[in-house]
């Protein structure tokens, strides 16, 4: 399974080569959004898998590579235009425009992601062409 995810990640064709600040220090300092505000009903929406950084890793150092794969179920296809990445702060911060060139129907592929030190939570939302959606809260701890 892990090998399949790594192969899927290597197939992602959209990347960014230079380091960039995904979140500013001011944005990171804003109050956290409560996760229970994000709960949604159960659907048979697409699968969202974090490939890099390794979800088992306690912390990462900037800059780092971020690979998130999408897989539609039931013969449907991912609608890349539906992908949203929201930084979970009060108020919510839509990171999607900053990531537009890294989004494809296969996932999100970024190289050189820079985040301020601390814990960062982002909601990744994707839908298939049949309108079924899935959400994943990506939690990243960044060390100096």
Determine the distance from the C-alpha atom of residue 118 to the mean position of all C-alpha atoms in its chain, rounded to a whole number: 17
In the chain, how many domains are there? 1
Handedness of CA 94, 99, 101, 106 (dihedral sign): negative
DSSP secondary-structure letter at 89?
B
Q: What is the pLDDT of residues 8-54, one digit of tens each?
A: 444 443 444 577 788 888 888 888 876 655 555 555 889 999 999 99
pTM of the model: 0.74
Q: What is the pLDDT of residues 62-121, one digit of tens each?
A: 999 999 999 999 899 999 999 999 999 999 999 999 999 999 999 999 999 999 999 999
Provide the domain limits for residue 8. Answer: 2-143
Q: What is the CATH number for 11?
A: 2.60.40.10
């Amino acid at each position: 399974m892990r090998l399949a995810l790594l192969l899927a990640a290597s197939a992602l064709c959209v990347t960014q080569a230079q380091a960039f600040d995904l979140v500013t220090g001011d944005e990171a300092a804003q109050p956290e959004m409560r996760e229970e505000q994000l709960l949604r009903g159960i659907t048979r929406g697409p699968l969202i898998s974090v490939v890099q950084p390794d979800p088992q890793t306690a912390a990462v150092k900037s800059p780092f590579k971020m690979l998130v794969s999408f897989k539609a179920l039931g013969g449907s296809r991912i609608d890349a235009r539906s992908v949203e990445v929201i930084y979970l702060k009060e108020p919510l911060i839509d990171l999607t425009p900053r990531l537009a060139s890294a989004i494809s129907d296969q996932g999100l592929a970024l190289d050189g992601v820079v985040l301020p030190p601390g814990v960062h939570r982002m909601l990744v939302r994707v839908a298939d062409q049949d309108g079924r959606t899935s959400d994943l809260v990506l939690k990243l701890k960044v060390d100096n």
